[in-house]
Amino acid sequence: MKNKVVVITGASSGIGKALAFEFAKKGAKLVLAARRIELLQELEARLTTDVAIKQTDVSKEDDCRELMEHALACFGRIDVLINNAGISMRANFEDVELSVLQKLMDVNFWGTVYCSKYALPHLLKAKGSLVGIISIAGFVGLPGRTGYAASKFAIRGFLDTLRIENLKNGLHVLVAAPGFTSSEVRKSALTAHGSNQGETPRNEEKMMSAEECAQHIIKAIEKRKRQLVLTFLEGKLTVFLGKFAPTLLDRLTFKHMAKEPDSPFK
């Protein structure tokens, strides 16, 4: 990864921030994007590599186009794009306002589409890597998170199709699915009416750290893997049961998620 130009969305916190530090250790040149410019500035000051930052709302097509133009203006190429920006939700579909689901799709799915569209010609030129950070929710529907799961399923389908379309063009496409990872995503998750829930309903200390997750993702990029599923019980076993015992998985998923404090379903 030394001297490779890596664009990371959602870089101000969580997995995106951890990826920035891990890539910096390997000597990559970084283009970091997020809505919170002050956090990007703090991160830039701490990194020991060439860094460019760009305030970006990935739900806006023009922002995504300008992000890739900024990367090219700063470094002249794009070798890796990591679509990491994303938001979650926590509410039953029966109760949720449809604008919440629209926002989930705009950020998670359309943000990935927009960034990928404008980076693709340059990734093809570099025979680089296009990465999407999904979730186990991209393999199994999580109750109380309809919009989140739908967006992650959509990203997986989108990236899997891009991989096939570019089978002879040297493009590497990785779909990375962390299990529950310690990050801000649950604190900023949207409620039924679109406000941030503010507190995580899960024990963050028992989850994989963002740093460990980032290390796995970078190794998968270096090895040009097509898919990365992290953690055994909440990751690999879930995907396995989804293929061979889907009804059992439905019941286990319901029971597991219903244990959350103030669960919207019982």
Residues annotated as part of the active site:
148
By C-alpha distance, which of 181, 174, 231, 234 is closest to 210? 181
Q: Is 242 helix (H, G, I), strand (E, B) or coil?
A: helix
By C-alpha distance, which of 73, 91, 173 is closest to 132? 173
DSSP code, position 205:
G
CA-CA-CA-CA torsion sign (154, 158, 160, 161): positive
Beta bridge partners of 81: 7, 130
Dist CA 223 CA 104 (whole Å): 31
Pure H helices in the chain:
14-25, 37-46, 61-75, 98-104, 111-126, 146-165, 210-222, 237-244, 246-258
- CA angle, corner 162, sides to 158 and 165, nearest 5? 140
Dist CA 36 CA 78 (whole Å): 23
Query: Would you tell me how many other CB atoms lie within 10 Å of the CB of residue 121?
Result: 11
For β-strands 51-55 and 29-34, DSSP reports them as parallel
